[in-house]
C-alpha cells in the first residue's frame, strides 16, 4: 500500500512562501507527475514528501499515517535524484546494497535482492563497475535499482531524465513507465517537460508559483485546460491564443475577424482570450487572413508559423503544404475545438463552437 495525501502543504523560506497550501490525493499504485516551469515549487514539494525539506504547515499522510515529523529514513520512500547521486566510491552492487546494509539485512538476503533488481534493470553484467565507468543511461538505471531494492511504499523521481540526451530520454521514459507497470509502486515524478508528463502520467499535477493550477489525467488536461496557463503549458507546439470580444456573430478580434461563434453563456462585449491548438487550425478559402512566416516540415507533420492581424499563430498538419513563406492564406478553427478564457481572470469559460 502506498497512498499519499497532502493536506494544505505550506513551505516558507524566511518570509518567502514558496508553497501556498497544496492539496493532493494520490492513490496506491498511481503514477503522478508534478509538472511546471522552474521555480514553481514542484521539487520543493517532492523533497518535502521525501523528508529532505521540513514543511512550514499542513500534513503529509502516507497510508493514513502523518509522516511530517519522520526522518527521511523512517518514511519508507525511495528517491531517484536528477544527477543520480550514485556513491562514486562504491561499485554498482554496493550502491544498490547500501540501504540494505544500513538496514542490517543478512548477506544472502542482500545478494538476493540486489540480483533481483539487477535482473529487472539489465544491470547484471555491470554489478562490479563503478559509476564513473557507466554511461548516463546505465547510471540512471543503477539509481532506479537502488530505489527498487528497498521495496518502498513510494518512489520519488526528481527530473531523472534531464541529464540524458534526447534519444536516451525517450528510451528511459519508456523503461520507467514499464517498470511502474511491472512493480505497481506509487510513483511521484517531477519534471518541467510537459511531454514527459503527458506520456508517463496517470495523473498530472500542473503547478505554478507554489499553487496547483490543475490536476487531471493527461488527456483531460489537454482537452479541458482550466486556465490559460495550463492550456499554454500542456501541448507542443503550444496552444494559440488571440484576444477577442464576444459579439452577436461570434468571437471578434480587435481587427474585426470573427474566430468562431461565441457560446450562449457570454454576454456581448465580454473580453476573452480565444485558445485553439495548432492541429485544430486549418488552411481554408475564407476565414482568418494570415501570412505564412515559416514552414517547418518534420516529415510526418508540418508546422507553420503564420502572422494574423491579431497575432502570430502556429498550425500543424499532416498534409503537404502547397505554399511558400510570404504567401497569403486563410485559416479556420475546427468547429468545437475552440477554448475560451476570461481575459481578466484567464480562467476557462468552457468550450464554444468554432465555425467558418
Handedness of CA 309, 312, 318, 320 (dihedral sign): positive
Nearer to other proteins, 75 or 277 (CB): 75
Rounded distance between C-alpha atoms, residue 81 and residue 83, angstroms: 5
Which residues in the 92-121 window bind other proteins by CB under 8 A? 98-99, 102-103
Closest CB 144 distance from other proteins, rounded Å: 13
Which residues in the 134-153 window bind other proteins by CB under 8 A? 134, 136, 139, 146, 150
Closest CB 85 distance from other proteins, rounded Å: 4
Closest CB 217 distance from other proteins, rounded Å: 29
> Quick check: 13 binds other proteins (CB under 8 A)?
no
> Quick check: 133 binds other proteins (CB under 8 A)?
yes
> Quick check: 167 binds other proteins (CB under 8 A)?
no
Q: What are phi and psi of 27, to 5 degrees?
A: -85, 165
Q: What is the DSSP string of 242-289?
A: EEEEEETTEEE-TTS-EEEPPPTTPPTT-EEEEEE-GGGEEEESSSEE
* Cell, residue 334: 475546427
CB hemisphere CA count around 325 (13 angstroms):
8
Give, for 302, the enclosing helix (H) or strand (E).
strand 302-308
- Partnered with residue 82 across adjacent β-strands are none
Torsion region of 8: left, alpha or beta (phi above 0 gives left; psi -120 to 50 gives alpha): left
> Quick check: 83 binds other proteins (CB under 8 A)?
yes
> Quick check: 193 binds other proteins (CB under 8 A)?
no
Closest CB 143 distance from other proteins, rounded Å: 8
The percent helix, strand, coil of the chain (3-state, each to 5) is 25, 35, 35
Q: Which of 19, 46, 62, 79 binds other proteins (CB under 8 A)?
A: 79
Nearer to other proteins, 160 or 354 (CB): 160
> Quick check: 86 binds other proteins (CB under 8 A)?
yes
Nearer to other proteins, 95 or 314 (CB): 95
> Quick check: 132 binds other proteins (CB under 8 A)?
yes
Q: Which of 55, 77, 306, 340 binds other proteins (CB under 8 A)?
A: 77
Rounded distance between C-alpha atoms, residue 211 and residue 207, angstroms: 6
Closest CB 128 distance from other proteins, rounded Å: 14
Q: What are phi and psi of 287, to 5 degrees?
A: 120, -140
Q: Which of 5, 18, 39, 52 binds other proteins (CB under 8 A)?
A: 52
Q: For residue 102, which of 140, 130, 71 has the smallest C-alpha distance?
A: 71
Closest CB 344 distance from other proteins, rounded Å: 42
Q: Which of the stretches 83-91, 207-215, 250-258, 311-319 binds other proteins when contact is defined by CB under 8 A? A: 83-91
Q: Which of 72, 263, 335, 353 binds other proteins (CB under 8 A)?
A: 72
Rounded distance between C-alpha atoms, residue 109 and residue 62, angstroms: 27
Q: Which of the stretches 66-74, 192-200, 208-216, 286-294 binds other proteins when contact is defined by CB under 8 A? A: 66-74
Q: For residue 308, which of 347, 336, 276 has the smallest C-alpha distance?
A: 276
Q: Which of 163, 247, 302, 356 binds other proteins (CB under 8 A)?
A: 163
Q: Which residue has the cell 499553487?
A: 211
The alpha helices in the chain, defined as continuous H runs, are 42-50, 92-102, 107-120, 136-148, 166-183, 194-200, 218-223, 228-233
Nearer to other proteins, 105 or 346 (CB): 105
Q: Which of 14, 38, 65, 71 binds other proteins (CB under 8 A)?
A: 71
In the complex, the residues that contact other proteins under the rule CB under 8 A are 50-52, 71-73, 77-79, 81-89, 98-99, 102-103, 130-134, 136, 139, 146, 150, 163
Amino acid at each position: 500500500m502506498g497512498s499519499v495525501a497532502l493536506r494544505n502543504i505550506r513551505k516558507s523560506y524566511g518570509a518567502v512562501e514558496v508553497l501556498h497550501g497544496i492539496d493532493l490525493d494520490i492513490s496506491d499504485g498511481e503514477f503522478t507527475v508534478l509538472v511546471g516551469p522552474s521555480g514553481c515549487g514542484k521539487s520543493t514539494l517532492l523533497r518535502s514528501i521525501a523528508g529532505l525539506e521540513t514543511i512550514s504547515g499542513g500534513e503529509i499522510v502516507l497510508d493514513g499515517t502523518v509522516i511530517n515529523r519522520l526522518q527521511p529514513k523512517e518514511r519508507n520512500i525511495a528517491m531517484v535524484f536528477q544527477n543520480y547521486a550514485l556513491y562514486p566510491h562504491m561499485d554498482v552492487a554496493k550502491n544498490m546494497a547500501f540501504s540494505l546494509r544500513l538496514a542490517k539485512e543478512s548477506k544472502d538476503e542482500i545478494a538476493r535482492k540486489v540480483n533481483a533488481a539487477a535482473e529487472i534493470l539489465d544491470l547484471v553484467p555491470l554489478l562490479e563497475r563503478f559509476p564513473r565507468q557507466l554511461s548516463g543511461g546505465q547510471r540512471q538505471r543503477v539509481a532506479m535499482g537502488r530505489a527498487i531494492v528497498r521495496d518502498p511504499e513510494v518512489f520519488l523521481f526528481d527530473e531523472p531524465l534531464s541529464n540524458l540526451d534526447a534519444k536516451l530520454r525517450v528510451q528511459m521514459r519508456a523503461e520507467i513507465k514499464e517498470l511502474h507497470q511491472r512493480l505497481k509502486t506509487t510513483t511521484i515524478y517531477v519534471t518541467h517537460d510537459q511531454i514527459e508528463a503527458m506520456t508517463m502520467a496517470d495523473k498530472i499535477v500542473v503547478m505554478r508559483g507554489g499553487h496547483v493550477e490543475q490536476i487531471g489525467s493527461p488527456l483531460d488536461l489537454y482537452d479541458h485546460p482550466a486556465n490559460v496557463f495550463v492550456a499554454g503549458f500542456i501541448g507542443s507546439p503550444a496552444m494559440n491564443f488571440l484576444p477577442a470580444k464576444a459579439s452577436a456573430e461570434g468571437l471578434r478580434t480587435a481587427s474585426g475577424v470573427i474566430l468562431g461563434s461565441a457560446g450562449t453563456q457570454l454576454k456581448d462585449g465580454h473580453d476573452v482570450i480565444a485558445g485553439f491548438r495548432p492541429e485544430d487550425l486549418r488552411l481554408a478559402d475564407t476565414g482568418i487572413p494570415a501570412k505564412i512566416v515559416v514552414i517547418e516540415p518534420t516529415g510526418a507533420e508540418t508546422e507553420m508559423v503564420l502572422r494574423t492581424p491579431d497575432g502570430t499563430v502556429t498550425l500543424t498538419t499532416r498534409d503537404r503544404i502547397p505554399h511558400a513563406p510570404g504567401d497569403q492564406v486563410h485559416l479556420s478553427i475546427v468547429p468545437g475545438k475552440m477554448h475560451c478564457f476570461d481575459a481578466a481572470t484567464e480562467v476557462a469559460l468552457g468550450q464554444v463552437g468554432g465555425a467558418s
